[in-house]
Amino acid sequence: MLKHFLPDEHVKSILDITPGLLKERGIKGIITDLDNTLVEWDRLNATPQLIKWFDEMRKNNILVTIVSNNNETRVKSFSDPLDIPFIFQAKKPMSRAFKKAINRMGLKREEAVVIGDQLLTDVLGGNRGGFHTILVVPVAQTDGFFTKFNRLVERRILNWFRRKGMIQWED
């Protein structure tokens, strides 16, 4: 059961994920979390670096869909200026939103990757859905109320993986 929480990869930032690396793996689409994955949970707009990252993905024909547990107002206000499709109140780790995202992109699950900053929502949901998962270091060191609880559980799971030699990265 705990293996469902183990990401396939770990990177420091979403900006470390390049179109070239994705294309080498046959990836044509990204399902990404919003808060603390793309930007801080309390930042309204994308940073210039993130806008450039989205542009690079577009230029390389890699589709991006934001899948967030947050409300419509939050996700829409971030996504609309960037013309990025989104799914709000996704109820991750439930798999329905992930399936909806690949259907909207017209992709198979093996052609998409799930990227997020939380084991209990993004990685678990992506793994349960059969996707390649990438865990990113949270953009901010602060979290909302529910995420703070998740982080406590995540630390215990990550420590267990570390003791078993299943992960080699640092937090």
Integer Cα distance of 92 and 122 in angstroms: 7
Quick one: pLDDT band at residue 142, thresholds 50, 70, 90?
low
Phi, psi of 31 (to 5 degrees): -105, 115
Tell me the C-alpha distance between 144 and 76, whole Å: 19
pTM across the whole model = 0.88
Distances (CA, A) of 111 to 22, 55, 107, 151: 9, 20, 6, 29
Q: Find the mean pLDDT for residues 101-109.
A: 97
Give pLDDT tens digits for 37-69: 999 987 889 999 999 999 999 999 999 999 999
Mean pLDDT of 19-37: 96
What's phi and psi for 34, nearest 5 deg? -100, -70
DSSP-assigned beta bridge partners for residue 114? 31, 133
Q: Which domains does the chain have, with CATH numbers?
A: 2-163 (3.40.50.1000)
Percent pLDDT > 70 in the chain is 92
